[in-house]
Amino acid sequence: MSEKRREKGSENGSEMKGGCHCGAVRITVPGLPEQVSQCNCSLCRKTGWIGGYWHPDDVTIDAAEGALNGYVQGDRMITTWNCKTCGSHTHWTPITAPPERMGLNMRMFDLADWGHLPVTEVDGASF
Ligand SMILES: [Zn+2]
């Protein structure tokens, strides 16, 4: 692993790879997120979301053209993406939300890689 790659990412370890259930969407990040959060809003509950956040420049989403389905709801701050083939909810990207952050569903990664991180409970239902 090059020093350059290590500088770009977090200081919390080495590259982590994950992806959707069928493998059509593959995700690579330079290391562990600064925090992992579980939110009680309707969307997070229904999609089984546990979020980790990165700068978009640090995230590589590898998917064929048209492999992802975007969903925008409510305040239209973000687009949440799921795999068209297997339905896995993989990530979200900002629309009007601050552009320096995007979210990945930690469930797309092996629990052995991140399961030791503390999970912050977010009361999104009250926002
Ligand atoms: Zn899939």
Angle at 34 between CA 56 and CA 9, to 5 degrees: 50
Q: How many CA atoms lie within 13 A of 91 on its CB side?
A: 25
Q: Note the pLDDT of residue 46.
A: 92
Distance 73 CA to ligand 1 centre (A): 22
Domain span at 13: 3-114
**How far is residue 102's CA from residue 59's CA, in Å, rounded to a whole number?**
9
Q: Note the pLDDT of residue 12.
A: 53
What token pair was written down for 80? Answer: 């949440």
Q: Note the pLDDT of residue 17.
A: 97
Distance 84 CA to ligand 1 centre (A): 7
Residue at 88 is within a domain: yes
Tell me how many domains the chain contains.
1
Q: Note the pLDDT of residue 13.
A: 63
Distance 31 CA to ligand 1 centre (A): 22
Per-residue pLDDT tens digits for 79-114? 999 999 999 999 999 999 999 999 999 999 999 999
Residue at 64 is within a domain: yes
Per-residue pLDDT tens digits for 8-35? 444 556 899 999 999 999 999 999 998 8
Distance 88 CA to ligand 1 centre (A): 6
Mean per-residue pLDDT, 43-55: 93
Residue at 120 is within a domain: no
Return the number of other C-beta atoms located less than 10 Å from residue 80's C-beta: 20
Q: What are phi and psi of 3, to 5 degrees?
A: -65, -35
Residue at 56 is within a domain: yes
Q: Are 83 and 91 in contact (CB under 8 A)?
A: no
Distance 2 CA to ligand 1 centre (A): 30
Residue at 63 is within a domain: yes
Distance 68 CA to ligand 1 centre (A): 9
What CATH number should be reported for the domain holding residue 22? 2.170.150.70
Distance 117 CA to ligand 1 centre (A): 25
Closest listed residue to residue 21, CA positions, set 100, 92, 105, 95: 105
DSSP 56: G
Residue at 123 is within a domain: no
Q: Note the pLDDT of residue 109.
A: 97
